[in-house]
Amino acid sequence: MKTRIGITMGDVCGVGPEITARALVDPKVQSIARPCVIGDAGVLARARDIVNAGFEIVTFRPGDPIPETGDGAVACAVPGLGVGTLPFGAIDGRAGAAAYHFIEAAVDMAKAGQIDAIVTAPLNKEALHAGGYVFPGHTEILAD
């Protein structure tokens, strides 16, 4: 059985969604893991299209069972923050707050046994702080 890895997409205005989309179609990743994205499905779809990744996105709410996906599809836990319309390349407190909530949802999923590991895409510390979170980065959020 492959390891279920939760991938937080990071800052929705940054490179995290594109890095995530590229990782989802990497044959090495597919051979060892069953990835599950934690983030915004609209942003993931936009990043998928930018990098021509060509996978289907199957959404669910954090805490609900992770849907089974076949080849060419990925599960995406959507906390429902509505940040899918924020532009790439901007610093926005809403994106920073969303990045925090994606990590929080991943930790909850790991504690519940839904995922075996967490991988974090980049977040923007300035956006994180603008969103009301004073953590220096992922490590400190996870430690908290």
| Residue 114 clears pLDDT 90, i.e. is over it | yes
Prediction pTM value: 0.93
| Residue 84 clears pLDDT 80, i.e. is over it | no
For residues 3-25, average pLDDT: 95
Q: Where are the domains of the chain?
A: 3-143
DSSP 3-state assignment of 72? coil
| Residue 18 clears pLDDT 90, i.e. is over it | yes
Q: Residue 110: enclosing H or E segment and its boundaries?
A: helix 93-111
Eight-class DSSP state of 46 = H
pLDDT value, residue 81: 76
In angstroms, how far apart are the furthest CA atoms of the chain? 41
CATH of 3-143, one of 3.40.50.300, 3.40.80.10, 3.40.718.10, 1.10.10.10: 3.40.718.10
Report the C-alpha gap between 93 and 5 in whole angstroms. Answer: 27
In whole angstroms, what separates CA 69 from the centre of its chain?
A: 17
pLDDT value, residue 137: 84
| Residue 132 clears pLDDT 90, i.e. is over it | yes
